[in-house]
């Protein structure tokens, strides 16, 4: 997607469905085109309804169905609303009194121009205790459901970078999943003691090398609009904005 251009709803639909395969709920149920996801409360995407396409009932009734589905699981009702494509659903959620969270930018970039990492990056099929300790979701330790959500994809890879021997913490971690040639990156975290050394770029480069070796051509990731440092990093790596989404919370 060229910088400054607006993607079609079909392009947004395709990329969101693809990314959803890399980060799943522990329980998922289709409601027409919508996908209801629950994952023990860990992350918005694993615990929200992806409202793309049409539900099998009028929108006000679909909102009520989503509300009841999450209430039955002890979770707040939440919807992920991509734009463009989710405008009608967004209007129905607004009418029902659901509040709006900040924009999340969906960024894409080709991976063929990335350099190899300047320091060794380890890749593993599952996250060990050191990796789990290194991933700080929104600055906090992980809840019990996190491990099951993290491994619930086809062939995830967990990247880690160590500068000092254990028991020192890992310097940086990240997670990647390759879906139809797209490297879907999440969980990029650099320990505060090791920042400003290019380590986020290094773990991204390690995942990029792995993806290219397996036929990967592009990368997609999500960044909160308020996360200025992360946006600056990804722009240096050649990422541009494809589209945005936000959450509605009932």
Q: Is the pLDDT of residue 3 over 60?
A: no
Instruction: Note the pLDDT of residue 139.
Output: 72
Please give the average per-residue pLDDT across 221-232, as a whole number. 95
What CATH number should be reported for the domain whose range is 112-216?
3.40.630.30
Cα–Cα distance, 67 to 61 (Å, whole number): 10
Q: Is the pLDDT of residue 217 over 80?
A: yes
User: What are the residue ranges spanned by the domains of the chain?
Assistant: 9-105, 112-216
Taking only the tens place, the pLDDT of each residue in 49-86 is 999 999 999 999 999 999 999 999 999 999 999 999 99
Q: Is the pLDDT of residue 231 over 50?
A: yes
Cα–Cα distance, 204 to 227 (Å, whole number): 17
Decide if 57 contacts 221 (C-beta within 8 A): no
For the ranges 2-16, 27-41, 46-60, 98-112, the lowest mean pLDDT is seen at 2-16
Taking only the tens place, the pLDDT of each residue in 105-150 is 999 999 998 888 889 999 999 999 999 999 988 777 789 899 999 9
* Residue 167 burial (10 A CB sphere; 0-12, 13-18, 19+): exposed
Please give the average per-residue pLDDT across 5-29, as a whole number. 94
What is the pLDDT of the chain when averaged over all its residues?
95
Q: Is the pLDDT of residue 153 over 90?
A: yes
* Residue 227 burial (10 A CB sphere; 0-12, 13-18, 19+): middle
Q: Is the pLDDT of residue 2 over 60?
A: no
Instruction: Note the pLDDT of residue 188.
Output: 96
Residue 19 DSSP SS3: helix
Q: Is the pLDDT of residue 4 over 60?
A: no
Decide if 250 contacts 77 (C-beta within 8 A): yes
Q: Is the pLDDT of residue 1 over 60?
A: no
Closest to 130 in 3D by CA, of 162, 177, 175, 163: 162
Cα–Cα distance, 174 to 190 (Å, whole number): 9
User: What are residue 52's phi and psi, to 5 degrees?
Assistant: -120, 140
pLDDT band at 226 (very low <50, low <70, confident <90, very high): very high
DSSP 8-state class, residue 45: G
Above pLDDT 70, what percent of the chain? 98
Model pTM score: 0.94
| Phi and psi based region of residue 43 (left: phi greater than 0; alpha: psi -120 to 50; beta: remaining) | left
């Amino acid at each position: 997607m060229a910088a400054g251009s607006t993607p079609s709803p079909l392009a947004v639909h395709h990329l969101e469905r693809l990314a959803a395969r890399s980060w799943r709920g522990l329980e998922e149920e289709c409601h027409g085109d919508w996908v209801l996801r629950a994952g023990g409360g860990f992350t918005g995407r694993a615990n929200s309804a992806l409202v793309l396409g049409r539900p099998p009932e009028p929108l006000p009734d679909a909102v009520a169905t989503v509300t009841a589905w999450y209430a039955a699981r002890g979770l707040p009702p939440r919807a992920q609303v991509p734009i463009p494509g989710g405008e009608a659903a967004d209007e129905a959620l607004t009418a029902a009194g659901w509040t709006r969270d900040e924009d999340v930018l969906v960024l894409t970039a080709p991976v063929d121009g990335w350099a190899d990492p300047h320091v060794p990056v380890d890749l593993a099929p599952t996250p060990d205790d050191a990796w789990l300790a290194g991933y700080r979701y929104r600055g906090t330790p992980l809840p019990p459901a996190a491990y099951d959500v993290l491994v619930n994809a086809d062939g995830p890879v967990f990247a880690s970078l160590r500068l000092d021997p254990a028991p020192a913490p890992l310097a940086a971690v990240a997670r990647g999943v390759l879906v139809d040639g797209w490297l879907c990156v999440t969980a990029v975290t650099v320990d505060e003691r090791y920042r400003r050394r290019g380590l986020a770029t290094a773990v991204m480069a390690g995942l990029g090398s792995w993806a290219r070796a397996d036929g990967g051509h592009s990368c997609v990731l999500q960044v909160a609009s308020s996360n200025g440092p992360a946006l600056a990093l990804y722009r240096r790596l050649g990422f541009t904005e494809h589209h945005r989404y936000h959450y509605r919370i009932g």
